[in-house]
Amino acid sequence: MKRKHIQHLYWRIGFGILPAELERLSKKSKRQIIDDLIGTSKKMSPLKIDTKEIENLMVGTFEEVKKNIMEIQKLSRKKTIELNVAWIDRLAKPEALLREKMTLFWANHFVCEDNNFVFTQQFHNTLRTHALGNFKDFVVAISKEAAMTKYLNTKQNRKQRPNENFARELMELFTLGVGHYTEQDIKESAKAFTGYSHNMQGEFVFKKHQHDEGTKTFFGKTGHFTGDDIIDIILKNKQCARYICEKIYCYFVNDIVVESHVNGMVNVFYEDYNIEKLMRFMLLSNWFYDENNIGTKIKSPIEFLVGLKTVVPVDFKKPKQLLYIQKLLGQVLLNPPNVAGWKGGKSWIDSNTIVLRLKLPSILLNSAFISKVEKGVSIDAEFIANKKEVLRNGLGKRFKTESNWVYFNRMFKGVEISDLENHLLLCDINESTSLYLNSLKKVSKREYCIQLMSLPEYQMC
């Protein structure tokens, strides 16, 4: 398989690839590489933070637990930070690369958050469990998650007072997309999800006395439907397969959809809604490796950060600073902006975030400074670089990080400085950037690595 195609593959289903692994895989065929990627992602290893302290506060009657709610939320905020850092570390050193990247994808599809960390962690690992499984089972599992029943108010959905939030987002965001259902479909399907709840431990509870057992007419079918029945009816609509395939195509291939490519994906996915089979088809397709798909997507903030950590492992001495950077870049794991999630694509870059992205490699890898940017305040590189001005105004924030350059030197030992850009940059370099690179002295690989990571081209994958 061509090296450039392997690099493209590993940026789309991962966060880059190191020289030795690239060399090893270049001797294999495309099918062998894809088989290995899928094979190593078969096993699901949950990502868990110790929750015993919170769980102890959740024992007892509802009234007893209610007295502990403030402490539960306080501990949950702390644990959420721990899970955020652990997730970043897992992404940087994954054993199941494809499963982990798919988990990241699904986290921005089945968008959810909660102030009880036990429920948050449980939901997070449900995403990981079903990331490459059967989509129907996935949707059913999501509909019964404690975090989701709270987030979209299914818990308040009773036959006397139907709540339509989950029913609406199930179709609009999770399965069909806007315009492929009616308001009446929402009302009828909401009845089917009445009675959904959970216990204190986050286990699904179906409260039959709160369930509307009457007939519902949904998508032209009439019956005593349950929530599972509604999901089954939705998935029989081929639009569901198309909607999911288009989202996967935009995330992994190109923001511009090519209908013929998506049609092929839909025909595969609609057969049995097997996510692994769909990903295998897409990754083996020749069009996945077309030139107009290589280096054309803007890295998400998480892809940018994890990609940087893949090349030069960097540890944050203060975990909150890692979240602070995510916030400045516009994507904080476990803290989505709304139920629709992050838009992605060109929305990742604006006048503020591009300056930050270009400075971040030197900030994190060279113990530099970064200015705290107030919302709505325009900044430029000169402002960030002016340390004295930043300190005088009290806006400076030093990041305490530890970069493993020994690891970098070992991984890139056999790579000439002049060839380093071929390992770090995937898209074509424009003329002005080329002139700039040629003007650099290239004193060391370490220095040149930071310079390459500080280019606009490094923002693309």
**Rounded Cα gap, residues 279 and 102, in angstroms:** 10
Q: Where do runs of H (alpha helix) occur along 312-400?
A: 319-329, 351-365, 381-385, 387-392
Q: Would you tell me how many other CB atoms lie within 10 Å of the CB of residue 330?
A: 18
Judgement on whether residues 331 and 211 belong to the same structural domain of the protein: no
- For residue 448, give its domain range: 301-459
Answer whether residue 51 is part of any domain.
Answer: no
Partners of 315 in the beta sheet?
Answer: 402
**How many domains does the chain divide into?**
3
Answer whether residue 230 is part of any domain.
Answer: yes
Which amino acid is residue 129, in one-letter code?
T
Judgement on whether residues 309 and 450 belong to the same structural domain of the protein: yes
Judgement on whether residues 309 and 451 belong to the same structural domain of the protein: yes
The mean pLDDT of 306-315, rounded to a whole number, is: 97
Query: Where does a domain end: 293, 309, 334?
Result: 293
Give the chain's mean pLDDT.
92
In this prediction, residue 368 has a pLDDT band, given cuts at 50, 70 and 90, of low
Judgement on whether residues 245 and 200 belong to the same structural domain of the protein: no
| Interior angle at CA 411, CA 406 and CA 414, nearest 5 | 115
Helix (H) or strand (E) holding 315: strand 314-316
Query: Where does a domain end: 219, 236, 253?
Result: 236
Q: What is the pLDDT of residue 367?
A: 66
Answer whether residue 387 is part of any domain.
Answer: yes
pTM: 0.93
Count of CA atoms in the C-beta half-sphere (13 A) of 367: 6
Answer whether residue 59 is part of any domain.
Answer: no
**Rounded Cα gap, residues 453 and 307, in angstroms:** 10
Q: Would you tell me how many other CB atoms lie within 10 Å of the CB of residue 395?
A: 16
Judgement on whether residues 405 and 420 belong to the same structural domain of the protein: yes
The mean pLDDT of 5-32, rounded to a whole number, is: 98
**In 3D, which of 270, 310, 267 has the Cα closest to residue 461?**
310
Judgement on whether residues 166 and 287 belong to the same structural domain of the protein: no
Helix (H) or strand (E) holding 233: helix 227-235
156-176 burial code (b ≥16 CB/10 A, e <16): bbbeeebbbbbbbbbbbbbbb
**Rounded Cα gap, residues 316 and 89, in angstroms:** 11
Judgement on whether residues 256 and 307 belong to the same structural domain of the protein: no
Query: Where does a domain end: 251, 268, 293?
Result: 293
Q: What is the pLDDT of residue 247?
A: 98
Judgement on whether residues 264 and 312 belong to the same structural domain of the protein: no
Cβ(367)–Cβ(390) below 8 Å: no
Cβ(34)–Cβ(284) below 8 Å: yes
**Rounded Cα gap, residues 250 and 344, in angstroms:** 10
Q: What is the pLDDT of residues 401-418, one digit of tens each?
A: 999 999 999 999 999 998
Q: What is the pLDDT of residue 382?
A: 44
Answer whether residue 76 is part of any domain.
Answer: no
Q: Is the pLDDT of residue 366 over 90?
A: no
Q: What is the pLDDT of residue 231?
A: 98
**In 3D, which of 245, 184, 249 has the Cα closest to residue 220?**
184
Judgement on whether residues 28 and 167 belong to the same structural domain of the protein: no
Judgement on whether residues 165 and 189 belong to the same structural domain of the protein: yes
